[in-house]
Chain A
Amino acid sequence: EDQVTQSPEALRLQEGESSSLNCSYTVSGLRGLFWYRQDPGKGPEFLFTLYSAGEEKEKERLKATLTKKESFLHITAPKPEDSATYLCAVQNAGNMLTFGGGTRLMVKP
């Protein structure tokens, strides 16, 4: 059974304080690892897909990296508007997504 564990569950940062969110996974035949951002009362917004260990992707203040066991979402100099829940999901060989519990990020000005 595929499993995804995200840590921490919640993270409070001061504006400008860089940090990383972790996503540990076990999956049968990884086809892709996805990061989404979800704001309260809204659907998840697609951020990145990573396909193989060693791959990195960046978008503004976010950078996602992938190893064979985990992925990190690095947030550099976050701003209050980065506050959201960040979801990690793995897609297995059968194309099914398994989500982690998410990390609630709060960035204070």
Chain B
Amino acid sequence: GAVVSQHPSRVICKSGTSVKIECRSLDFQATTMFWYRQFPKQSLMLMATSNEGSKATYEQGVEKDKFLINHASLTLSTLTVTSAHPEDSSFYICSARTVGGGLKETQYFGPGTRLLVL
């Protein structure tokens, strides 16, 4: 299957600072990437959909000025949590969707990034 990586895997930051999380599709090109947030023992909540070269589409209730998404290339999307606060502490997971080919159209997920804001 396809491989998606995330960096960093864990980050601890002070309240008020910004944190950038990278998501890369390692062996395929992804025109569409997704960012999810997951709280303990809950399912994934879609935050935004990003298409390469265009602005991200945010889900209702997600502040686009707080969660900045950049999808500058077919293999890289970044999520920047600006002015992070303790309530932003969560598990952030990115996903990349394959398009056609032998992998059909499937969303593959990264390993996640655990963010703790003190």
Contact = CB atoms under 8 A, between A and B. Distances in A.
Partners in one complex: yes
Interface of A: 31-32, 34, 36, 41-46, 49, 87, 91, 95-97, 99-102, 104
Contacts of B37: none
Given A31-B105, A41-B91, 16 more contacts: A32-B106, A34-B106, A34-B107, A42-B112, A43-B93, A43-B110, A44-B44, A44-B93, A45-B109, A87-B44, A95-B97, A96-B46, A96-B49, A97-B46, A99-B43, A99-B44
**Which of B46, B104, B109 counts the most chain A CB atoms within 10 A?**
B109
B8 interface: no
Interface of B: 1, 4, 6, 32, 34, 41-44, 46, 49, 91, 93, 97, 104-112, 114
A102 B43 contact: yes
Nearest to A87: B43
Contact of A44 (B105, B109, B114): B109
Q: Which 4 residue pairs across A and B have the least CB separation, nearest first?
A: A43-B109, A43-B112, A44-B109, A43-B111
B112 to A, nearest CB: 4
A96 B42 CA distance: 19
Contacts of B1: 46
A84 to B, nearest CB: 13
B113 to A, nearest CB: 9
B61 to A, nearest CB: 15
A80 to B, nearest CB: 20
A46 B112 CA distance: 14
A45 B3 CA distance: 10
16 contacts: A32-B106, A41-B114, A42-B111, A42-B112, A43-B109, A43-B112, A46-B108, A46-B109, A49-B104, A49-B106, A91-B107, A95-B97, A96-B46, A96-B49, A99-B44, A104-B41
